[in-house]
Amino acid sequence: MAHKHGHGREQIQFANAEDKQEFSKFPTKAGRRSLSRSISQSSTDSYSSAASYTDSSDDETSPRDKAQVNSHGSTDFCVKNIKQAEFGRREIEIAEQDMSALISLRKRAQGEKPLAGAKIVGCTHITAQTAVLIETLVALGAQCRWTACNIYSTQNEVAAALAETGVPVFAWKGESEDDFWWCIDRCVNRDGWQANMILDDGGDLTHWVYKKYPSVFKKVRGIVEESVTGVHRLYQLSKAGKLCVPAMNVNDSVTKQKFDNLYCCRESILDGLKRTTDIMFGGKQVVVCGYGEVGKGCCTALKALGAIVCITEIDPICALQACMDGFRVVKLSEVIRQMDVVITCTGNKNVVSREHLDRMKNGCIVCNMGHSNTEIDVASLRSPELTWERVRSQVDHIIWPDGKRVIVLAEGRLLNLSCSTVPTFVLSITATTQALALIELYNAPEGRYKQDVYLLPKKMDEYVASLHLPNFDAHLTELSDEQAKYMGLNKNGPFKPNYYRY
């Protein structure tokens, strides 16, 4: 493995050093392959997510080959550069300002330490906001080891700050596929440390433990999963009778689904597109694939700026909602020639196929807001007749033989986390939900949860929401005894039946 790794980097340096001038002429297939890889690696850091102060071009050594130590003498981490910890700490402090619910959860539970003895292995986006969650879990008594669920979304300086405080973090921005699995492995496979809780985003960590370390599940009390893709994988395991621990589906809890998926995407879709392409939305023809919560959020924002939006849907209910909101529901193949922007948010694969890409008009922008990078068939674009040109960090122009260009953002990965930031406040809601799910599963009495996938109890959803209301100086009305009796409710909730849709 080490050998393979070294070889990959020699190739990159060779590409950088000698193929520069050849790049403007059309290089050979092999030359271009290694080149596009080298370019994407050296520019992943230059000016994307939030405030990355780092530009990796000044340091091409892989973090795996660097011996680093934090100020406490620990080497149990692997980040881009531990010296950036101070910058990262400031980023985390900024995030804390807008995540008061987690801070109040810390204060409230610091005495009783509901996670004392918990050993949590986590795989999420590593940003200032997740750092606030991780440090909250530590304050509640947990030991954590952490890795990234996306090769582009790590904020290097935040990973450094966490490693500096003693949380073993294995992640950096612009990992290769091989690095990605290596980091997950280093997180799980630690002598003398055995995880008893899993926090996952996308299911890759859970998948790796199943594949490589199934014995870990003997100790694990539960899995908390927050993405559509990961939850889907858990339900598949459950159906096949292979899920051997209880799992909490945070994605479909109300405080995730109706907030993160909807309001977060409503704000971050425009941010990601503007930062990468400076596009003007007024009058643009946009197609949004999927009208779930993410699709609804994206469409609200685009429509408000005067874009002409149409939707593709497989589900008649979501399609009817789109019609009622004033959007045309179409098939992608019918409209693809006219579109200026194509946005996927389905959680499915090959929604935008090579055939669609071939028929797009010159200058069409293609990006993904779904979790997984399978929605756009980017792999099909890495073929000899097409030229890739890295124009900016996370922006590639793919040039067809006739000179047509299609603009692909973040190589088809998650647009908002790869190219811009995500509003901190909405992540506070999701992170608080995750923290409570971990506390619930970790402390649940034997037998409350079987080997199945569960939703967070509604009482806890309501508690998460109530923790965020002080931010808005919002005052809840209380039921009188008579009103409560009339409604058949407990005064303190839950206020809605489980089937209520919000």
Residue ranges of the binding site: 127, 201, 226, 256, 260, 292-297, 313, 416
Structure token pair of residue 463? 């508690």
Residue 392 CA to residue 410 CA, distance in Å, equals 10
Total Cβ atoms within 10 A of residue 263: 17
Return the residue matching tokens 């389905």: 346
| Overall residue count recorded for the chain in this entry | 502
Q: How far is CA 341 from the centre of its chain?
A: 22
Residue 185 CA to residue 379 CA, distance in Å, equals 25
Question: Which residues contact residue 356 at a Cβ distance below 8 angstroms, ignoring those fewer than 6 apart?
Answer: 332, 333, 336, 342
β-strands 247-249, 222-225 pairing: parallel
Which residues are annotated as part of the binding site for NAD(+)? 292-297, 313, 416
β-strands 387-392, 395-399 pairing: antiparallel
Query: At 173, which helix (H) or strand (E)?
Result: none
Tell whether omega for the bond before 114 is within 30 degrees of 0, i.e. cis. Answer: no
- DSSP-assigned states of every residue in 311-356: EE-S-HHHHHHHHHTT-EE--HHHHGGG-SEEEE-SS-S-SB-HHH
Return the residue matching tokens 């149409």: 310
Q: Which residues of 444-476 are buried (b: 16+ CB within 10 A; e: fewer)?
A: eeeeebeeebbbbbbebbbbbbebbeeeeeeee
Closest CA to 23 of 403, 439, 446, 388: 388
> Is 451 in contact with 244 (CB distance < 8 Å)?
yes
Q: How far is CA 22 from the centre of its chain?
A: 36
Q: At residue 89, what is the residue type?
A: R
Maximum distance among all alpha carbons in the chain?
81
Which residues are annotated as part of the binding site for substrate? 127, 201, 226, 256, 260
Residue 334 CA to residue 420 CA, distance in Å, equals 31
Residue 150 CA to residue 172 CA, distance in Å, equals 10
Residue 324 CA to residue 488 CA, distance in Å, equals 34
